[in-house]
Amino acid sequence: MEKIKLHDKTFRKYIPYEEFIRDIDRVADELNRDFRDKDEIPIIICVLNGSLPFTAEILRRMEFLCELSSLKISSYAGMSTTGEVQFKQPLTCNVKDRTVIIVEDIVDSGYTMDALTRFFHEQGAKDIKICTLFFKEEAFQFKGKIKIDYIARNIQNQFIVGFGLDYDELGRNLKDIFILDE
């Protein structure tokens, strides 16, 4: 599929799965390097719904024990961020005195990461690491305040769908990444 229509927008193929899966391999290697020989068992937090495919790929490659939990939040309406993060599903595990690895599909403005890091600090997490499939550095508003520890791929500040990323809930199931075709 080279083009796809979702609602009222057309998207064209941007990054094939076979290309960004190598980025996921590299990030998994970095995580393994940092956590493989530690006695501590970190908690992987899958940020629903978008990071589900990325989290599954990362988990398959982990060479260390971990716990898995999820959190559902929302900060988008259509194709733009609202700037307001809404927690849609409560956290189901205790993170007090634990290392948390937040796994996200995309970090753009950073408002979601700001809300999540504050939330996990309030819950007593010992350490917070952020792992993202895609990072839009030019859109990131929290430079010097929030560190993105593991980045699979930097991309330009354009709207993308596929592999968990959606446009009004459509497109998450696409294997490849598609970009708005203007």
pLDDT digits (tens, 9 = 90+) for 111-152: 999 999 999 999 999 999 999 999 999 999 999 999 999 999
139 assigned to some structural domain:
yes
Place of tokens 């753009």: 108
Domain assignment of residue 2, yes or no: no
Whether 108 is catalytic is: yes
Domain of 46, in residue numbers? 17-73+93-156
pTM value is 0.93
Candidates 39, 108, 114, 168; catalytic one:
108
Residue 163 lies in a domain: no
pLDDT at 92 > cutoff 70: yes
In a domain, 47, yes or no: yes
The domain spanning residue 145 has which CATH number? 3.40.50.2020
CA angle centred on 8, ends 152 and 175, rounded to 5°: 30
The per-residue b/e assignment along 34-70, b for 16 or more CB within 10 angstroms, e otherwise, is ebeeeeeebbbbbbbbbbbbbbebbeeebeeebeeeb
113 belongs to a structural domain: yes
Q: Is the pLDDT of residue 19 over 90?
A: yes
Place of tokens 């995309």: 106
For the chain, the domain total comes to 1
8 part of a folded domain? no
